[in-house]
Structures are given as structure tokens and as C-alpha cells.
Amino acid sequence: MEDRLISIEGIAKRYPAAAGGQTTIFEDLWLRVGRGEFVCVIGHSGCGKTTVLNILAGLDAPSAGAVIVDGREISGPSLDRAVIFQGHALLPWKTVLGNVAYAVASRWPKASKAEIEARATRAIATVGLAGAEGKRPAELSGGMKQRVGIARALAIEPKILLMDEPFSALDALTRGTLQEEARRICRETGQTVYMITHDVDEAIYLADKIVLMTNGPGARIAEIVVNPLPADRRQGAIHHDPNYYALRNHLIDFLVSRSKTFRDDPPAGYDPRHPPVVRLDGGVAAPPLPSAAPKLRAVAT
């Protein structure tokens, strides 16, 4: 059995509808994330990805169900779960060092000022911003701001890193570099990551598992796709992997057609408590296989 860090257990989110009834954004949502796993969630905008992430962060409460982290039900935000916000959310009146040190001081309230600054400086160096400690957010480019956001989240050594489309506002080049660094840092520290993206290639490069969410209202987790690419994959070279196109086609296919039809026409035997885990095997780079031909295999957890 895997070492389970996060367990989302049957959560739902409902809002009062304009007509007087209720809109169910999603319900009966179940998902487990193992320690050290990098999970990417993809799905159309409005299906409730951010809502799920906010519930995981403790910033929002589910209408039903619970989230268990490290064996305990969460009841609010915690320093164990760091959030990297889509809009970076840096405090404009603080410097880069000030922003990161603020988080460090919150995590270790009894630490000395020197200790706090040392930790913050180290985190800033990790994201490649050494030398920019004294700058204010307004003086930074979009990519640098997001780096500070990452440094702030990593500096508190969280159990879980929650990221909501962290790189979507960046230009392609910056995005590539940041993805690479994020992957390196998270692998080096064994960081558990739950990340939302709408970029299929980003999910393929970063994720160990890709969670597919159907369209709302009443969104569900359609399936969990295990990334067949080797762990030492390189940014910019993933499309040379023999499994890349099968995986990419599978994801695109889901986003284009199955995300709409899944809710009303779920596959036979679909159990929302155990969304099917899909492995796209085949090609030469994959682990030993009975068949060389690419095929889809659904396995219940």
C-alpha cells in the first residue's frame, strides 16, 4: 500500500442557485495522493479545480465530505500546506526578502531575526533570485514574482505544496525554465505537490499522476492517468519519448470530447470512490511489458 498523505473523501461543493435551488459544482469527489507524489489536475475552466485546491488549503470548506491530511481531518489553513497563488499574491510593501521572511517568521515564530533571514535568503537562492533580496515586487518581472511565490512557499518546508496554475501568466520561455526548476526542487526535496494546470504539456512534464476532471456542474474525477515517461525526463525533450504522443492524445481527447460526455454517460463499472487508474503502456522506454503495442488499461485501486 502506498504511503497516503492526502485523502479527499467524498467532498462536494454547492452554491445557492439564482433560481432558488442549489448548484452542485462537484460532488462525491474522492482522491488519494501519496507522499512525495507530484499530481497535476486538468479540466476545463469552471469545473471546480480551484475550489478543490482551496478546500485542500483550508481556505474554503466543502459542503459535504472531508479531507484527511497525514491521518487527520483538516479544519482550516495550515503551515503544513503552502499555497502558490495564481496571481503570485506578494505583499507589495515588502521586499523580496521581506515577503519570504514573513512566511519564515510565521512558521518559526521563536526563531531569531538572523535565523529567519538566513532561511529566507537560502530559499531565495534556491529559486535563482540571489541578489534581488532588496527589490520590491513592483520592480520584478512576472517570472521573478512567481519565483518569489515559490520561494515563500518552499521556505516554510510544507508537507504539501498547492499550486493553482502557477505558470499560466508567464511567457513560454520563462514558463519552461520555471517548470524545470520547480521539478528539480520538488524532486530533490521529495515534495508532495498538488497542482492545477490547463497546459497538457506542463502536466506531462511535471506530474507523476494526472487527474482528469470532467466538466461541471456536478464535476467528477473521470480517471487518474499514470505518467509513463521516465523520471529523468528533460524539459523540451519529452516529445521524443515513445509514450509521449499516446499520453498527449489521451489527455487532449479527454479535454475535447470525453470531459463533456463523461458525467451523463460514465463507463460501465465507474465508481467515484475509486476513479480508474489508467496506465498508457508501450514503446521502448516503458518498464517491461507483456505487449509492445500501446494500449489502454484501466485498473481499479
Partner 1 sequence: MTTTARLQALAVSALILAVFLALWQIGVSGSGPAQEMDPEYAKLMGATATQGKSAMPGPLDVGRTIWGHLRDPFYDKGPNDKGIGIQLAHSVARVGTGYLLAVLVAIPVGFLVGMSPLMSRALDPYIQLLKPVSPLAWMPLALYTIKDSGISAVFVIFICSLWPMLINTAFGVASVRREWLNVARTLEVGPLRRAFTIILPAAAPTILTGMRISIGIAWLVIVAAEMLVGGTGIGYFVWNEWNNLSITNVITSILVIGIVGMILDQLLAQAQRLVTFPE
Instruction: Summarize as ranges the residues that interact with partner 1 (CB under 8 A).
Output: 57-59, 76-79, 81-83, 85, 87, 89, 91-93, 102-103, 106-107, 136-138, 156
Q: Is 290 exposed, middle or buried (0-12, 13-18, 19+ CB in 10 A)?
A: exposed
Nearer to ligand ADP among residue 53 and residue 224 (C-beta): 53
Choose from Mg ion, ligand ADP, partner 1, none: what does 163 bind? Cβ within 5-8 Å by kind. none
Grid coordinates given for 6: 492526502
Nearer to ligand ADP among residue 15 and residue 245 (C-beta): 15
Rounded to whole angstroms, the Cα distance separating 185 from 188 reads 5
Grid coordinates given for 283: 514503446
Residue from 58, 149, 158, 216 that binds ligand ADP (CB under 6 A)?
216
49 residue type, one letter: K
Bridge partners, 72 (sequence order): 69
Grid coordinates given for 54: 482551496
Nearer to partner 1 among residue 136 and residue 258 (C-beta): 136
Rounded to whole angstroms, the Cα distance separating 7 from 30 reads 7
107 residue type, one letter: R
Q: What is the DSSP secondary structure assignment for residue 219, as one 8-state letter?
A: B
* 50 near Mg ion, rule: CB under 5 A: yes
Residue from 11, 29, 42, 47 that binds ligand ADP (CB under 6 A)?
47
Choose from partner 1, Mg ion, ligand ADP, none: what does 298 bind? Cβ within 5-8 Å by kind. none
What φ, ψ does residue 164 adopt, rounded to 5°?
A: -105, 100
Smallest gap from residue 229 Cβ to partner 1 (A): 31
Which residues bind to ligand ADP, rule: CB under 6 A?
Answer: 15, 25, 43, 45-51, 216
